[in-house]
Amino acid sequence: MTVAPSVLAAVFWGVVTFSILVVLHEGGHFLAARAFGVKVHEFMIGLPGPALRLRTKKTTFGVTAIPLGGYVRIAGMEPGPEDDLLADALKAVADAGSLDAAGLSRVLGVDSTRATTLITTLEDYGAIRENSSGHYTIVEGLDPSLGAQELLATARNETYRGLPPWKRITLLLSGVLVNLATAILVFTLVLSIFGNYEASLRLDYVEPASPAAAAGLEPGDVLTHLDGTELTSWTHFQQLMAATEPGQEVSISFARDEKPHAVKAVLKDLEGHGFLGVRPAFVKVNYTAGEALGLSFKWTGMVFSAIGDFFRPSTFATSVENSRSVVGISVMAADAAQAGPLDYAWFIALLSLSLGAMNLLPIPPLDGGKVAIEIIEWIAGRPLGRRLSLAVSAAGAILLFSLIGYLMYSDVMRLAR
């Protein structure tokens, strides 16, 4: 008997599960950034806010007070073009030896808001740092005798902006690649070592008072044909049944005690298509490493196809209905953990695969949306304006969080029922 997880268990396993997914996804961005020589300021698990932090020479690691989601803060990833005065601002700090926002405002003849923004950008680039008096100085390794543009170019070398377009796109896609690689690796290992249970054409259960029971089907019967079409698998049988209609009469061929039989059944209604009323027996199937790898890629393709259903009007409602928010996923995570380590690892792999596929959608602020912007800027030969970049990101965020909000509402209603 399966016991439903408690609220505390769902919260605990939800936090653990999303933390694992964050480490996998953001870890991909982190590793790619470090491989390309880009500074990573922070690697945090949780939403921005108060946190426990471990500061190392290059990166601060930590867990925030709300450990859902997470992020890596990579130098030079702010949207829009650079300020035209950025090089002059860095040179002004280098020449003065020490400047604050007010001093920079006077030197450049700009308002304090712009001066503060310039300092924030240079600090993000890792070109300047704040001292104990609240002033800023250039970091060690930058030569103050260089010209303004050359000095900024040197500082930009260790930022996202300093990378060529193909490296920026690779960095953006690295989180997705880790998600997909993790899922395929787990699927392949589990299938090749432990095998899998698959639905067979042998019946395990016949629902009482169903069309199947009325036709005389019994547990143990092996389905062979439906309306003259030879059945190759339970999935094939389901596909054929999905094309039937309520009230339709179908011919069913089956084997009982290895002897062939045939009956006719009048189907009932199940969500608009025919209903027979049978359940399959599951059999264990073992796979070679090659077969397991091939099946893993097949499942990966199926998940991408399912994500694509969100963009087809005919399948959108069904896709949303079958999706889960952080609430539903937390309950499912607790169920999987309760079932055992193997089930939980499998669940993590499925979520990792889904997260990777979702992040490829060309919707900012998802990685796919950022890649789309990078490609547009690459073709145009210049970055999009800051206002346009922020507007596109805001529109994408509204769309994304609206869907998340609806899914959370649906999960709460489902659990309440």
Mind spelling out the 3-state secondary structure of 147-182?
A: CHHHHHHHHHCCCHHHCCHHHHHHHHHHHHHHHHHH
For the chain, list the domains and their CATH numbers.
7-67 (no CATH), 86-157 (1.10.10.10), 166-193+288-416 (no CATH), 196-285 (2.30.42.10)
Q: What is the CA radius of gyration of the chain?
A: 29
Tokens standing for 362? Answer: 């060309």
> CA 158 from chain center: how many Å?
27
Q: Report residue 333's pLDDT band, with 50, 70 and 90 as the boundaries.
A: confident
Q: What is the pLDDT of residue 100?
A: 93
Tally of helices (H runs) and strands (E runs) in the chain: 14, 14
Q: Using 50, 70 and 90 to split pLDDT, how confident is the model at 1?
A: very low
Q: What is the pLDDT of residue 134?
A: 87
Render 200-257 in DSSP notation, one character per residue: EEEEEEE-TTSHHHHHT--TT-EEEEETTEEP-SHHHHHHHHHT--TT-EEEEEEEET
Q: Rounded CA gap, 356 and 261, in Å?
A: 47
Judged by average pLDDT, the poorest of 31-45, 176-190, 260-274, 320-334 is 320-334
Kindly tell me if the per-residue pLDDT of 314 is higher than 80: no
Q: What is the pLDDT of residue 232?
A: 94
- Does the structure show a pLDDT above 60 at 240? yes
Side chain identity at residue 42, one-letter code = E
Is 60 exceeded by the pLDDT of residue 182?
Answer: yes
Other beta carbons within 10 Å of 92: 19
Name which residue leads in pLDDT, 377 or 167.
167
Q: Is 274 helix (H, G, I), strand (E, B) or coil?
A: strand
> d(Cα 248, Cα 267) in Å, to the nearest integer?
6
Q: What is the pLDDT of residue 393?
A: 78
Tracing tokens 């930590």 back to the chain, one arrives at 62
Percentage of residues in the chain with pLDDT exceeding 90?
A: 54
Could you tell me the pLDDT band of residue 354, with boundaries at 50, 70 and 90?
confident
In terms of Cα–Cα distance, which of 139, 140, 142, 159 is closest to 150? 142
Looking at residue 200, what is its pLDDT? Answer: 94
pLDDT-derived band at 118, boundaries 50, 70, 90: very high
Mean pLDDT of 241-247: 90
DSSP 3-state of 47:
coil
Question: Reduced to 3 states, what is the DSSP secondary structure of residue 71?
Answer: strand
The model's pLDDT over 121-167, given as tens digits with 9 standing for 90+, comes to 999 999 999 998 889 999 988 998 999 999 999 999 999 999 999 99
pLDDT at 320: 66
Q: Please state, for a pLDDT cut of 70, what percent of the chain lies above it.
A: 95
Would you say residue 318 has pLDDT above 80? no
Read off the pLDDT band of 4 (50, 70, 90): low
